[in-house]
Structure 1
Amino acid sequence: MAITAKEVNQLRQMTGAGMMDCKKALVEAEGDYDKAIELLRKKGQKVSASRSDRETTEGIVLVKTNDDQTEGILIAFTCETDFVAKNDDFNALGNEILEAAYTNRPADIDALKALPSGDITLGEKIVENIGKIGEKLEITAYETMKAEAVVPYIHAGSKLGVLVGLSNTSGADVIEAGKDVAMQIAAMNPIAVDKDGVDATVVEKEIEIGKEQARAEGKPEQMLEKIALGKLNKFYKENTLLAQAFVKDNSVSISQYLDSVSKGLTVSVFKRVAIG
Structure 2
Amino acid sequence: MAEITSELIKTLREKTQAGMLDCKKALIECDGDVEKAADFLRKKGLASASKKMGRTASEGIIASYIHNNNKIGVLLELNCETDFVARNDDFRELAKELCMQVAAANPLYVDIDDVPAEELEREKSIYTDQMKDSGKPAQVVEKIVEGKIKKYYSDVCLLEQEYIKEQKVIIRDLIKNKIATYGENISVGRFIRFQIGG
- Same fold, TM exceeding 0.5? yes
Measured in 2, the distance between the counterparts of 1:222 and 1:183 equals: 39
Please list the CA deviations of residues 93-139 of structure 1 after superposition, one character each: whole Å capped at 9, or x if unmatched.
xxxxxxxxxxxxxxxxxxxxxxxxxxxxxxxxxxxxxxxxxxxxxxx
- 1:274 counterpart (182, 192, 195): 195
Using a 3 Å threshold, how does the CA distance of structure 1 residues 189 and 169 change in structure 2: closer, same or farther? farther
Counterpart residue number, 1:165:
77
Task: Describe the SS at the equivalent of 1:252.
Answer: strand
Q: Could you say which structure has the greater relative contact order, defined with CA pairs below 8 angstroms and 6 or more residues apart?
A: 2
Alpha-carbon RMSD: 2.1
Counterpart residue number, 2:109:
192
Greater share of helix: 2
Measured in 2, the distance between the counterparts of 1:147 and 1:229 equals: 36
% identical aligned pairs: 37
- 2:62 counterpart of 1:150: yes
- Paired letter, 1:255: R
TM-score relative to the length of structure 2: 0.60
Counterpart residue number, 1:133:
none
Moved over 4 A (4+): none
Measured in 2, the distance between the counterparts of 1:242 and 1:185 equals: 10
- Paired letter, 2:192: K
Please list the CA deviations of residues 148-199 of structure 1 after superposition, one character each: whole Å capped at 9, or x if unmatched.
2110111112221101111125434111001101001001000100111112
- 2:172 counterpart of 1:251: no
Counterpart residue number, 2:141:
224
Aligned runs of 1:62-73 on 2, under 5 Å?
Answer: none
Flag the structure with larger Rg. Answer: 1
Greater share of strand: 1
Measured in 2, the distance between the counterparts of 1:149 and 1:188 equals: 21
- Paired residues, number: 131
TM-score relative to the length of structure 1: 0.44
- Paired letter, 2:173: Q
Unaligned runs of 5+ in 2: 1-57
- 2:126 counterpart of 1:209: yes
Counterpart residue number, 2:16:
none
Aligned runs of 1:1-276 on 2, under 5 Å?
Answer: 148-168=60-80, 170=82, 171=85, 172=88, 173-221=90-138, 223-263=140-180, 264-276=185-197
CA-CA distance at 1:237 after TM superposition: 1.8
Unaligned runs of 5+ in 1: 1-145
Contact 2:178 2:186 in 1 (8 A): yes
